[in-house]
Structure 1
Amino acid sequence: MWFSALRPLCLTALAAVALLPGVSAEAMLTSNSLNTCQENSMFTASLFKVVYTPSNSSASLSIVATSSVEGSVVFDIAISAYGYEIIRTTIDPCKTGLAGMCPMTAGKIPLDFVLPVGKDAASQIPGIAYTFPDLDATVKVTLNMTDTGESVACVEADISNGKTVDLIAVKWILAIIAGLVFCSSAVINGLGHSNAAAHIASGALSLFGFFQAQAMLGLTGIHLPPVVQSWTQDFQWSMGIINVNFMQDIFTWYQRATGGTPSTIFDSLSTVSVQVEKRGLSLLPDAAVDLYRRSASMLPRAAGALLKRGNVTTGSGSFLVYGIQRVAFKAGIETTNLFMTGLVFFCLFVVFTIAGVAAFKGYCELAAKQKWIKSDTFLEFRNGWLTVLKGILFRLTLIGYPQMSILCLWEFTQVDSPAEVVLAVFFLVGMTVTLGWAASKVIRIARRSVAMHRNPAYILFSDPQALNKWGFLYVQFRASAYYFVIPVLGYTLVKSLFIAFAQGSGTAQAIGFLIIEAGALIAASVLRPWMDKSTNSFNIAICAVNFINAIFLLIFSDVFNQPAIVNGVIGLILFFLNAIFATVLLIMVIISTTLVFYRKNPDTRYQFMADDRASFMKSQSQLTGTTELDALAATARGDKAGYSKHGLDLDDDNESISSASLRRRTDTSNLELPMADPNSSRGRNNSNPPRSPVDPSVPLFPASGGPQRAPSPYSDSPGSFRAQNNSTPSGFRAQNNASPWQRGAGYDH
C-alpha cells in the first residue's frame, strides 16, 4: 500500500531533479530528507533517503514516515529547478489505480526497498542533470482532501546529483597559495627588499581577508542556494573549520570531561534525517516554530539540551541545521565540537609558526657558519629574530581575530561546557586587548614622530624594532593613515557580533552586513588609506564585491518576498561573480610574487611611496658608510648590529602592559641618554621637549613646490663644500647619513 503511495512522489522527484546539473564518480540523483512545507502537516518523515542510479535503472529508498491522513486525497505535484517551476500536475490515486491510497489510512510507515525505474521515466532526465554541480532542484507534493479541497499535508524533497564545488583540492590549493605568499614576503623582507616585501605582504593580507569574508557568508543564518553554500564551504579552512577525525574524538572526550553534553547528529544519520534549512527561522510561521518547541519538549533530556544550544528538532523528529551549524554539518563536524576545532587549529598554527621561525633561525646560523650563504644574508633577522618573531605573532593574532571572535562569541550562546566558555572568554578578551594595545602603541609612536619630525613615517619606519614588532598594523597603509587599523578591528568585531548573536534572524544579519559593508566601501573609497594607488584599487575592489554580496544576502533573506526564481538566479550570479573575482585576485598575487624572485632589485618594480618611508627603512646591513667610530660607539652602548639598546628606543619598544615592563618604564636608569653633542647648549635638560635633529626652518621633506628647500651641498664651490662638512668624509656622513643608532633618537648631528 505505502509502496504504491510513495512511488509517484519518488518518480516525480527524480524526474524533477534531473532537469539541472551536478559532480561524482557515478551518475546518480539523491535526496536525503523529506521536509514539511506547511503547518501541522499530517504526513511527515523522520528519515527519507532516495538514491537513483541510471546505470541499473533503480532507486533505493529508506523511509520512516508517519501519516495521520484518512480519506480520499489527490496529490498536487510541483517540480522546480532554481526556483523556476518546470512541471505541475495532479494525480488522483483512485483514478490511477494506486492500491491502498484510495482511501488513505493513518499509520507509521517504515520502508526499505528498491524501486525499479522504467526507461520512459529515465528518458525524461537530461544528461546535464548528472554533471552540473550543486543542483537546486525540488519536488513538492501537497495532499488535498478530495471532498473539501483542504490541504492536509505538504512535503518537499531537495534533489542532488552528488557533484559539488565544495572540493578538498580547491581548499588545499587556496591554503597553499596563501601560505606561500606570506612566506615569500617574509623571505624578501629578510633579503633587504622592504618595499617589495611590503607590497606582497599587503596583497597576501587582503587576499586572506577576502577568503575569510567568503567564509563569513556561509556562517550567516540566511538561506543560501546550494551552490553558494558549497562555494563558501571552500573557504571555511580560513576560519579554522577543518575536520580531522581523531581530533574530533578528542574534542568530544574533552567536552564530556568538562561537564558538557556532545551532540550526536552524525551517529543518528542512519535513523534520522538532517534538514539543511530552506528558510531562515525568523521567516518560518509562528505555528511552525511552536511546533519545533513542542516537539523538543517531548524529547529526552539530552535532545532538549541540544535544542538550547541551537540544534532545532522538527516535529517529525529530524534535525534542522542552519547558519554556523550548517557549516559544521557540511564539514562533517559535530556542532558542539566546532568551537574547539577552530580554537585548536589556531593554536596549532601559532605553534608551528614559532617552530618554523626558530628552525629557520637555526638553519641561517648553520648555513652562515658553513659558508653556504654569505655572512650578511638575513643578517637583520639573525640578529633580531626574537623581535621579528614577536611581530609575526602579532600578525597571526590579527589574521586569526575574525575566526576567534566569531567562534568565541558564538560559544557564549552555545555553552558547550563550562571549560569551553572560560577558553572563549580568555581568547576573545586576550586577543582583543592585545590588538587594541598594539594599535594604541602605533598611534602613540606616530604622534611622537609628528611632534618631533613633522612626519609620522620617521619613527614608524626608521626604527627597526618598531617596524619589525608593530609594522604588521601599518605597513600596508600610507604613513598618514596609521590609525586605520582601528576601523579595521572595529569592522571585524561588529561583523562577528552580527554573525554570532543573530543566527536566528536572517533579516537582521542581512541588514547588518549591508550597513557594515557599505561603511567599509565608503571609507576605503574616500580615505584610500593603503600605501599606493594599486594597493588601494586592489582593496577597494574587494570592498565592492563584499558590498555586492551583502546585497545578495538581503535578497536571500526574502525580505522583499520575491519569487523563488530570483533567489535561484542570484545564487548563480553570486557564485560566478565571486569565483571569477577570486581567480583574478589569485592570479594577480601569484604573478606579483613570482616576478619579485626574477628581479635583481625587486624594489624597483614598485614605485616608492609618497610618504618617503623608503628613506627611513634602509636595511642596517646596507649602511656601508658606517665607520669605526660608529662601531666603537655601538659597542660602548651595548648595541647589537644596529639594534638599539633596551631603554633607548624612541618608540619605547620594551613598553608593554606587563608589570615588569611598567617597572622598567619607571626606572630612571633607563631614561639616561648619552649626549650626542658635547657643545650643545641643551645638554640633558629634561625640562625641554624632545626636538628633531632636523632644523624646522629647513624641513627634511618639504612639500612639492614649497618655498623652503634644503640647501644643496653642490651649490657652492668644492672648497666651501668641504669646509661645510669639516673637510672629512666622516663629517659629510655625520650630517647627511646619521649612524643607525642615532636615527630617530632626537640627537643633533
Structure 2
Amino acid sequence: MASLLKAPFLLIFYLVALTIPATAQRILESTSLNTCQQNSGFTASLFHVIFSPETNTARVNISAISTIEANVVFDVQISVYGYTFLHQVIDPCEVSLAGFCPMVSGKLGDPFIIPVGSDATRNIPGIAYNFPDLDATVRVFINATSGTNAGTSVACVEAQVSNGKTVDLIGVKWASAVVAGLALASSAIISGLGHSNAASHVAASALALTSYFQAQAMVGLVGIHLPPVVQAWTQDFQWSLGIINVGFMQDIFTWYQRSTGGTPATIVNTLGEVSVEIQKRALPVMERASGLFKRGVAMMPKGLVDHASTLMKRGNVMTSYGSYIVKGIQRVAFRAGIESTNLFLTGIVFFYIVMALTALSVVAFKGFCELAARMKWIKGDMFLDFRNGWRTVLKGILFRITLIGYAPVMILSLWEFTQNDSPAEMVLAVFFILFLNIALGWAAYKVIRIAHRSVALHRNPAYILFSDPQTLNKWGFLYIQFRASAYYFIIPVLGYTLLKAFFIAFAQNAGVVQAIALLLIEAGALIGAAVMRPWMDKKMSSFNIAICAVNFLNAIFLLIFTEVFGQPPLVTGIVGLVLWILNAVCTLVLLLMLIVSTLIVIFHDNPDGRYRFMADDRTSFMKSQNQLATTTELDALAVTARGGEKHGYGSGLDLDDDDSLPSESQQHRPTSFPHSANRSVAPSVAHSSSSASRPVIPRSPVDPAVPFLPSDPYESMKMSSSAISRTGTPSNASVGRSQHNSSPSPWQRGAGYDH
C-alpha cells in the first residue's frame, strides 16, 4: 500500500519551495491614480508609475485631464498601514516639474521620466521594498496659490503603492490543492484496501480542511474594503471555489456569452488603456464614484453610454474620467485575471470538470485493477470489494464532490441573478440551484430515513448506516464524519452554507449588513459546534471547532474593516496583518496535521489500529480487513449480519427500494433476540433452517438482553458466535442471567441514547 501512495506526496515538498519568491529588483509601483475629493480638477484614466532606488528615477505612464489654470503647490501625505509618516508641501516650480508650473488645462498623455533626489530615496525605509503586500498610500492635494481659487484645494489624487512582493503565490495554491486532493484520493485507496476506519478519519480531515479553504476564499468575496495583504491571502484559496484562470477557456466563455445575447466586460483586456481602482472605502467612495458616473455619462459618446450603464448595473463602476472601480466578487475576478462577466461560467465549468475527471479516474482505476489482477501484478483479492461494487463507489464519490462544490455553485449562481450576464447563463444558474439542492436534499432525506429504520429495527442508527456496504459507500459522504447519533447534522451544515451564500451574493453593495450577517452566522456555527460536538471523535471535534473559531474571528475582522466603529486607519491596517498571520498559521498547522496523519496511515502496518474504536460502535459493523480476519466463525457471523455477500457492496436489503424495507408493523416489533425463530446466524446454521429460503433482514449480532457483556463489542460477538456454533441456540446460562439483569444494550452506549 505504501508504494502506491508515498510517491505523490513527494511533490508537496517541491511545491512548497515555490512559495518562496525569488529575489527581484527593489521597486515601488502604482497602477492607478484615484480621486479623493468631489469636483477634482485633475483626473487620470491611466496611471502607471515605477520607482527604482537603484537608478533614482520614476517612470511615469499617464493619461490625464486637467481643468486647472493656476499656480499650485502639492500637499503630499504618505502613509503606511494607516500611519502617516511623511507630510510635505512641494512647489513644482522649485523642482522644475514641467507642465505644472504653472498648471494649465489640457490632456497629458505622453510617458516621461522624473529624476528623484538621493535625499528622498534615503528617507524610504528598507522594509518598504521587502514587506509583502505593502499597504502604502500617497495622497496629493493640489492647492491653488493664484487665481479665483487661491488658497483652496482644486484637486486631490491618491495612489496605492506596491513593492511587487505578495503572498498571492502560485506555490501556496498548488500546495494546498495537492495536499487536499491527495488526502481525499488516499482515503479512497485506503478504504478499497479494507481499512474503513482509517479511511473515514483521513477523508473527514480532508473535507474539513477543504471547507476551511473555501471559508477563507469567501472572505475575499465580500463587498467590503480589505487590506492588500488580506486580498492577496484570500486569493490563494479561490481555486477551492473553482475560480481558476485558463486562457483558452476564457475565450470560450466570452464567445458563449456574446452568442447568447450578453455583453462581455472588457476591463482585463483594456488594462493598457485604463486604470482599475480596487475599492478603498465602503460607502463614501461608491457614492462619490456614482456621482462622477452620472455626471460623466453626459460627456461620453453615445456608443459608450449603453456600455457604461450596463457596467453600472452589474456593480462595475465606471468613473467619468474612464477608470473602473471593482469590489467584492468583481475584485476577486479582476485579481484572477478573469472578466467579471465570465466568473459564473468559470466556477460552473470547473465544477463539471472535476466531476468528469473524477468519474474517468474511477473507471480507469477499475480497469487497471482488473488488468493487474489478470496479469498477476496484484493479488486476486486486492480491491475486490471495489471491483465488484465500483458503480456504488462512483455514485458516492460524485455525491461527495457535489457536497464540496455546493458552496461555490450556490454563491456564483445566486450572484448571477444580480448580474444577468446573458439569458442562457440565467437559465444555467436556476438549473444548478435546483439541481444541487434537490440532489443533496434527497441524499439527506435518505440518510435520515435509513437511520430511523435502523433505530426502529435495532435501536441503533449506526447498525444499517455502517453495516450495509451499499448504504455506506453511496450515502456515507453525508454522515461518516459525524458520530452515529448525529447523522442528521448534515442538514445544519447545508443550511449554514446556503445562508452564507445568500448574504455574500446579494449583499455586495451593503458591506455593514454583510459583515453583521456573517458574524451572526459564524457565531451560531461556533456555538453549535462547541456545544453539540457532532463529529466522530474528540480529535475531529477539536479540528473542526478550531476551524469554526478562526472563521468567527475572521467575521469580527470583516466588521472592523467596514469602519463602522470609526477606528483610526492604523487599527484597520494592523487588524489586516493579524488576519493574515492568524490564518496563515492555522492553515500551516492544519496542513501539517493532515500530511502527517495521512503519511502515518499510509506507512502503518495496521492503519485501523492507529485509531481508537469510536463510541458509536460503527467499527463493529464496518467492513475492516483486520477486524474480520480473527476467526472463521466470526467472519461468517459478520457477513450474515451485514446481509450481503462476502465481497462487493451488494446487500440483501435494498435501502433504495421501499418494497424491500420492513412494513410499519414490523418496524415496531421488539428487536429479535437469540431465541427468535428468524434470527440471523452463521451460514452453516442458516442453511439447515427451514426458513433459509426466505429473505433475512439483518439483525443486531448481539443479544441486548445478555448481561455482564464485556465493554469490547468484538468480545460480545465472539461470545454470541461461539454459543450459536455449538448448539444453534443461546446458552441456558445466558438466558437465565437475562432474567435478573436490565442493563442497557452495549449498542446503545455512545450512540446518542445516553445523552
Scaled by the length of structure 1, the TM-score of the pair is: 0.84
* Post-superposition offset of 1:427: 1.3
Structure 1 stretches lacking a partner, 5+ long: 1-21, 656-662, 668-673, 728-742, 744-749
- C-alpha contact (below 8 Å) 2:724/2:730 kept by paired residues: no
1:191-232 CA-to-partner distances (Å, cap 9, x unmatched) read: 111111111001000011111111001111111111111111
Answer with 299-308 or 175-184: which moved more: 299-308
Per-residue deviation, 1:60? 1.2
Q: CA deviation at 1:169?
A: 1.6
Q: 1:369 to 1:684 in 2, by over 3 A?
A: closer
| Contact in 2 for aligned 1:379/1:621 (Cα 8 Å) | no
1:120-519 → structure 2 map (5 Å cutoff): 120-146=119-145, 149-280=151-282, 282-284=283-285, 286-296=287-297, 298=300, 299-519=304-524
Shift of 1:683: 12
Q: 1:649 aligns with which of 649, 653, 657?
A: 653
SS at match of 1:162: coil
Determine if contact 1:700/1:710 at 8 Å carries over to the other structure: no
Pairwise CA distance, 1:259? 0.9
Change (3 A) 1:473 1:34: same
Q: Any idea what the Cα deviations from partners look like across 1:559-578, whole Å, max 9, x if unmatched?
A: 11111101111111111111
Conservation of the 8 A alpha-carbon contact between 1:188 and 1:194: yes
Which position in structure 2 is the counterpart of 1:521? 526
- Check 1:712–1:468 CA distance in 2 against 1; reply closer, same or farther (3 A cut): closer
Does the C-alpha gap of structure 1 residues 72 and 349 become closer, same or farther in structure 2, counting only changes over 3 Å? same
The match for 2:742 is: none
Give the letter for the 2:327 counterpart. Y
Moved more, 69-78 or 181-190: 69-78
1:56 and 1:101, CA in 2 relative to 1: closer, same or farther beyond 3 A?
closer
Aligned-partner Cα distance in 2 for 1:55–1:497: 50
Amino acid at match of 2:476: G
Give the drift of 1:44.
Answer: 1.1
Q: Is the CA contact 1:397–1:431 (under 8 Å) kept in the aligned structure 2?
A: yes
- In the alignment, the residues of structure 1 paired with residue 716 and residue 458 of structure 2 have an alpha-carbon distance, to the nearest angstrom, of 15
One-letter amino acid matched to 1:141: V
CA distance, structure 1, for counterparts of residue 78 and residue 469 of structure 2: 66
- Residue type of the partner of 2:469? P
Letter in 2 for 1:175: A
**8 Å CA contact 1:23, 1:130 repeated in 2:** no
| Unaligned ranges ≥5, structure 2 | 1-20, 664-676, 681-685, 732-746, 748-755
Stretch of structure 1 that moved more, 51-60 or 396-405: 51-60
On the 8 A contact 2:195/2:608 being kept in 1, the answer is yes
Match of 2:580 in 1: 575
Q: Contact 2:241 / 2:408 at 8 angstroms: preserved in 1?
A: yes
CA offsets, 1:33-79, max 9 Å, x none?
01111222222111111111233332211111122233344322111
Q: SS at 1:192's partner residue? A: coil
For residues 671-686 of structure 1, what are the structure 2 equivalents within 5 Å? none
Shift of 1:294: 3.7
- Per-residue CA deviations over 1:259-294 (Å, capped at 9, x if unaligned) read 1111111222122101111112x3437454332344
Q: How does the TM-score come out when normalised to structure 2?
A: 0.83
2:74 is aligned to 75
Moved more, 112-121 or 441-450: 112-121
Specify the alignment match of 1:616 in structure 2. 621
Equivalent position SS for 1:195: helix
Q: 1:483 to 1:541 in 2, by over 3 A?
A: same
- Give per-residue Cα distances to partners, 1:636-661, cap 9 Å, x unaligned: x996835446xx525x2357xxxxxx
Aligned to 1:264, the other structure's residue is in SS state coil
Structural RMSD (CA): 3.6
Matches within 5 A, 1:59-138: 59-93=58-92, 101=100, 103-138=102-137
Give, in whole Å, the separation in 2 of the partners of 1:446 and 1:345: 34
2:209 partner SS: helix
Give per-residue Cα distances to partners, 1:15-45, cap 9 Å, x unaligned: xxxxxxx976222111110111122222211
Q: Distance in 1 between matches of 2:58 and 2:91?
A: 23
Give secondary structure in 1 for the equivalent of 2:176.
helix
Please name the residue that 1:545 is paired with: 550
In the alignment, the residues of structure 2 paired with residue 500 and residue 27 of structure 1 have an alpha-carbon distance, to the nearest angstrom, of 39
Residue pair 1:24, 1:162 contacting (<8 A) in 2 also: no
SS of aligned partner of 1:559 = coil
Task: Give the AA of the match of 2:90.
Answer: I
Q: Which deviates more from structure 2 when the two are superposed, residues 547-556 or residues 305-314? A: 305-314
Please tell me the residue identity of whatever aligns with 2:66: S
Amino acid at match of 2:392: T
Cα 1:666–1:567, aligned 2, differ >3 Å: closer, same or farther?
same
Worse-matched range after superposition: 313-322 or 87-96: 87-96
Are 1:50 and 2:52 an aligned pair? no
Tell me the distance in 1 between the aligned counterparts of 2:499 and 2:557: 20
Relative distance call for 1:365 and 1:206 in structure 2 (3 A) is same
Q: CA deviation at 1:99?
A: 6.5
Q: Which residue of 2 aligns with 1:698?
A: 705
The Cα of 1:555 is off from its aligned counterpart by 0.4
CA distance in 1, matches of 2:362, 2:221: 33
| C-alpha separation in 1, matches of 2:442 and 2:238 | 29
CA drift at 1:233: 0.5
CA distance, structure 2, for counterparts of residue 681 and residue 722 of structure 1? 19
Seen in structure 2, the aligned counterparts of structure 1 residues 125 and 699 have a Cα distance that, compared at 3 Å, is: farther
Q: Which residue identity lines up with residue 85 of structure 1 in the other structure?
A: T
Q: 1:719 to 1:424 in 2, by over 3 A?
A: closer
Cα distance, 1:398–1:41 mapped onto 2, change above 3 Å: same
Residue 312 of structure 1 deviates from its aligned partner by 0.8
Give the distance between the partners of 2:260 and 2:627, measured in 1 at CA.
56
Deviations along 1:505-541, one digit per CA (max 9) or x if unpaired, are 1111111110111000000000000000011001000
**Aligned AA for 2:563?**
D
Decide whether the 8 Å contact of 2:275 with 2:324 is kept in 1: yes
> CA, structure 1 residues 464+112, in 2 after alignment: closer, same or farther (shift >3 Å)?
same
Does structure 1 retain, via aligned residues, the 8 Å contact 2:463–2:700? no
Helix, strand or coil at the partner of 1:653: coil
Letter in 1 for 2:290: V
Count of residue correspondences: 680
Residues 413-455 of structure 1, C-alpha deviations (whole Å, 9 max, x = no match): 1111111111111112101110011011111111111111111
Report the residue type matching 1:340 in the other structure. Answer: L
Name the SS of the counterpart of 1:115 in structure 2: strand
Distance in 1 (alpha carbons) for counterparts of 2:718 and 2:203: 36
Structure 2 SS opposite 1:429:
helix
1:300 is paired with a residue whose SS is helix
More deviation, 110-119/438-447:
110-119
- Secondary structure of the residue that 1:79 maps to in structure 2? strand
CA distance in 1, matches of 2:341, 2:405: 21
Partner of 2:9: none
